[in-house]
Chain A
Amino acid sequence: DTGVSQNPRHKITKRGQNVTFRCDPISEHNRLYWYRQTLGQGPEFLTYFQNEAQLEKSRLLSDRFSAERPKGSFSTLEIQRTEQGDSAMYLCASSLVVGGTDTQYFGPGTRLTVL
């Protein structure tokens, strides 16, 4: 399977714990995006990388959220000191920029439940 993969698919944690999610993009894609989706809403953009450079992070929800893409391949999203309001689906997408736009391919998401 050459699509975007995300691990774990589900994560249940207790309030105050740290969690880390991984995203493996399509291999030749140079851009990687993170989104969050809460129930009944469309996905909400968080951050994105072009290769290993994080080009936009002002939309990360708080300083408890951070993301890395150390070698321009896989990426991790970490949430520190989780809160119940962090419960959501976290989606990763990758793309290859061609011309003036790119088509994003999404993974299946990681569903986080904070108890």
Chain B
Amino acid sequence: DAKTTQPNSMESNEEEPVHLPCNHSTISGTDYIHWYRQLPSQGPEYVIHGLTSNVNNRMASLAIAEDRKSSTLILHRATLRDAAVYYCIQSGYALNFGKGTSLLVTP
């Protein structure tokens, strides 16, 4: 299975930017990079995805390395509502979630 590597946990202060790293060294040329997050007691929620170029949407930005072996999810101003487990996934039709990064946001 396609596998990504993320830190187990990260901590951020509220209203500060957060950079969540992900390594995907085995990514193939056609694999997209997806980010989902999961709040406690909820199903996963789509955040952003990209293939080669950096991407922005209302939730976050995705910076993809030129060799595509790593990417960074950027939350521009963390809020308490952003505390969640963030999953970086290289896919495929089936999402291979891994354990993700648990983000703690402190006031």
Residues of A within 8 A of B (CB): 4, 31, 33, 35, 40-45, 48, 55-56, 59, 91, 93, 100-109
Chain B interface bracket (under 10, 10 to 19, 20 to 34, 35 or more): 20 to 34
Q: Is the CB of A41 within 8 A of B94?
A: no
Hey, what's the 0/1 contact readout for B54-95 against A, CB within 8 Å counting as 1? 000000000000000000000000000000010100010111
Can you name the residue of chain A whose Cβ is closest to the Cβ of B1?
A: A45
Q: Is the CB of A56 within 8 A of B94?
A: yes
Residues of B within 8 A of A (CB): 30, 32, 34, 36, 42-46, 49, 51, 85, 87, 91, 93-100
Q: Is the CB of A102 within 8 A of B93?
A: yes
Chain B residues lying within 8 Å of A103, measured Cβ to Cβ, are 34, 46, 49
- In the assembled complex, the CB of B9 is this many whole angstroms from the nearest CB of chain A, namely 13
Can you name the residue of chain A whose Cβ is closest to the Cβ of B97?
A: A42
Chain B residues lying within 8 Å of A91, measured Cβ to Cβ, are 43-44
Chain B residues lying within 8 Å of A41, measured Cβ to Cβ, are 99
Q: Is the CB of B43 within 8 A of A108?
A: yes
Query: A9–B84 Cα gap in the complex (Å)?
Result: 21
Q: Is the CB of A48 within 8 A of B94?
A: yes
Cβ 8 A contact of B30, one of A33, A100, A104: A100
Query: A100–B96 Cα gap in the complex (Å)?
Result: 17
Chain B residues lying within 8 Å of A55, measured Cβ to Cβ, are 93
Given A100-B30, A101-B32, A101-B49, check contact A45 B43 (CB 8 Å): no
Can you list 18 A-B contacts (CB < 8 A)? Answer: A4-B43, A33-B95, A35-B95, A42-B98, A42-B99, A45-B94, A55-B93, A56-B93, A56-B94, A93-B43, A100-B32, A101-B32, A101-B51, A103-B49, A104-B36, A106-B45, A107-B43, A109-B43
